[in-house]
Structures are given as structure tokens and as C-alpha cells.
Amino acid sequence: MTLIIFILILGLIVFIHELGHFIMAKKHGIYVYEFSLGFGPKLFSFKRKNDETEYMIKLIPLGGYVMLAGETDEDDKNIKDNQKLCNKSFLQKMSVMVAGVFNNFVLGFVIIFILALICGTSFTTNKLDNLPKDYPLYKAGARNGDVITRINGKKVSNFDDIQIRLAIAGEGKKIDITVRKKDGKEVTYKKIKPVYSEENKTYYYGISVKGRIGKGFLDVVKYSFGKFISIFKGLLIVIISLFTGKLGVNSLSGPVGIYSAVGTLSKGDGAIYSLLYLTAYLSINVGFMNILPFPAFDGGQAFLLIIEKITGKKISMKIKSIINTIGFVLLMILMVFVTIKDIIKLF
């Protein structure tokens, strides 16, 4: 069952992403050779009447692609020039490149919105409330009514920000927590060490914040946008931390890590909510990663388009192919490393 759920989640995210490229390509009259879910050996395929595209599902459900005319120099010479991607305008090409990312963001937002609409909303702050007295933060001197303003010197404004900063700090690490007291003075509690719970297999600092339950449709909209922004901001902080060395690649997870998360979240009460939220998070994650200006990503293709627009010169297909190949190889090396790390974690 875990495998089925895993394939369904990834399949939905990939399908929505590639559907964005596909729809925009069709809209601009670009010839589409293939629309594929998965990689590797073909399981089955079909063609629609009066449609050149071959739709297929392949064995390995870890991605997908839309093959367009005009992406390489090896296109069928019988295809008209105005049906090739390379001959379209800057805005048309750019819209095709970013359509997948846009779809992923929309999917993530819509799922969060539906969950909020059905299950209700809760808004958290950075104001401490109901602090457990037996945990490190209370013992350090924090009290109910104090407002957490910084974690390890970085500003926080709500509980989502706090969770992001704790994740960046690393599991079980000592952290500095700065709070603003009721009299307005700020106090920093240095090197607070979390306690480990054998029952829940996790670390706790004893941070408990004040919240409120949302009411009405406007709160649902506000919550959905707020959660989307928090997820996006968290991903941005992670990328910046990776480049600055504050986070190592050991902190990344790949398909095996996602599979493990699906297995954990599919058990017990609230499994449907948790799995849907994971789907939303992963969809936003895929959109975010693809918009990065890295070769082999949609953002990398968009970046090359921008360079062409600025310089007024087209980059040859050969150079683009070399850049994409290098990017793909680096991506595969990273993926293999992350996968091996995730497998080791399972044991």
C-alpha cells in the first residue's frame, strides 16, 4: 500500500507539471512528439485521433517529460518551422518553460486550500504560551507571554519560521533563542540543549506558542496563502544554507526518503490529511527546484532564454545540449548520493 500511495503522489505531481508544459506548447502550436509519465521501458501508450502526440506510461515512476519539436538539431525535417519551439517568440518559449512550475505551485496551493476548507484553520504566532515547565526553554528562563524574536540570531515571526530555523540548526543541536519580555527588553538564552523523547523518537526544546482557530472563508484564504509562503520561504532558506555551508547535502532526501515519509504518514489517525499535505509540500518543492537556474531544470532553460534575449544572440543547440548534459550528470550524482544515504538511514 505504501508503494501504491508513493506512486500515486509522485504520479500526480509529475503529471500536473508536465501537463503545464504540454498545454502551453499546444496553445502555441508547437509539435509535441511524446507526453510520458515515468522513465525507462514503455509499459503502454496510445495516440488520439488527429493528434500527433504519443501518450505513454513508463516503468520507473520518478519523473516524466514532454518531447517538443525544436528542442534539438535532430528534429524531423517534415515538421514545419512554425511548429518548432526554437522558432517561437521569447514570451512563448518562456511560458512553455515555466508552465510546469506554475502548475506545481497551483496544485500545492489548491490542496492546502481544500484541506483548510474541510478541516479548518489554525494560526500560530511567536508568542510563548502554556510552556511545559520540565523542558529546556522554561528552565532557561523563558515564560508565558514572552515573544521569540530570533533563533540562532535569525528573525522569526511565527511558528513556521521557528520550525524552519530548528530544522536548519539540525536535530538535537544546541541553539540560541532570543525572546522579547513583556517590558520590551530582549534576552538571549544561549546553547539550549533539547531533550530526547524515546517514545516519539525526537528532540524537544519545549517551545509552545499561542494560536487561534480561524473562522470563515477569508481565514481559509489567508491561511492557504500564509502556508504556501512559509513552505516557499523554508525551501529558499534551505537552498541558501546549502550554498553557504550551513547545511550539508546529508540533510537532503530523495525518493527513498519520500517513500519512508509516506510509510510513516499513512499510519494512524489523520493519515489522509498528512498524505495530502505531503503532496502539497512536495508539489511546491518540485516547482521551487525546477525554477532554479540550474542546467537540466526548467529554470536553467529559462535562464538561457534570458541570456539570449539580453545578448541578442541565439545559443547553439550543441552548447545547450552540453550544458544540459553536464547538469543532468551532476544531478544524477547527487541523486545517487542522497538515495544511498536514505537507504542507509532505513537500517
User: Which DSSP symbol is given to 88?
Assistant: S
pLDDT score of 253 more than 90: no
Does the model's pTM come out above 0.85?
Answer: yes
77 and 182 both lie in a single domain: no
Which domain range does residue 147 map to?
Answer: 123-213
**249 pLDDT more than 80:** no
Q: Note the pLDDT tens digit of each residue in 8-17.
A: 999 999 999 9
Cell readout for 266 is: 499513512
- Dmax (CA) for the chain in angstroms is 77
**pLDDT one-digit tens code per residue, 152-210:** 999 998 898 998 899 888 888 899 999 999 999 999 999 999 999 888 778 999 999 99
The domain tally of the chain equals: 2
Considering only 224-228, 256-260, 296-300, which range has the smallest mean pLDDT? 256-260
The pLDDT score that the predictor gives to residue 209 is 93
Q: Does 225 reside within a domain?
A: no
Would residue 102 count as lying in a domain?
yes
Residue 292 lies in a domain: yes
Choosing from 213, 248, 273, the residue where a domain stops is: 213
Q: What span, in angstroms and rounded, lies between the C-alpha atoms of 79 and 76? A: 6
Straight-line distance from the first to the last Cα atom of the chain, in angstroms, rounded to the nearest whole number: 21
18 is catalytic: yes
Give just the sign of the alpha carbon dihedral 210, 216, 222, 224.
Answer: positive
Identify the CATH number of the domain in which residue 181 sits. 2.30.42.10
Closest CA to 287 of 108, 126, 135: 108
* Mean of per-residue pLDDT scores for the chain: 90
Q: For residues 81 and 186, state if they share a domain.
A: no
Verify that 101 and 17 share a domain, yes or no: yes
Which residues, including other chains, have CB under 8 Å from residue 139's CB and lie 6 or more apart?
A: 133, 206
Share of the chain above pLDDT 70, in %: 98
d(CA 76, CA 66): 16
- Residues 40-58, mean pLDDT to the nearest whole number: 93
Give the C-alpha separation, 60 to 39, whole Å.
5
Classify residue 322: in a domain, yes or no: yes
Q: Quick check: 128 pLDDT over 90?
A: yes
**Active-site residue among 18, 34, 71, 308?**
18
Q: What is the pLDDT of residues 52-101, one digit of tens each?
A: 999 999 998 888 999 999 887 666 778 888 999 988 999 999 999 999 99
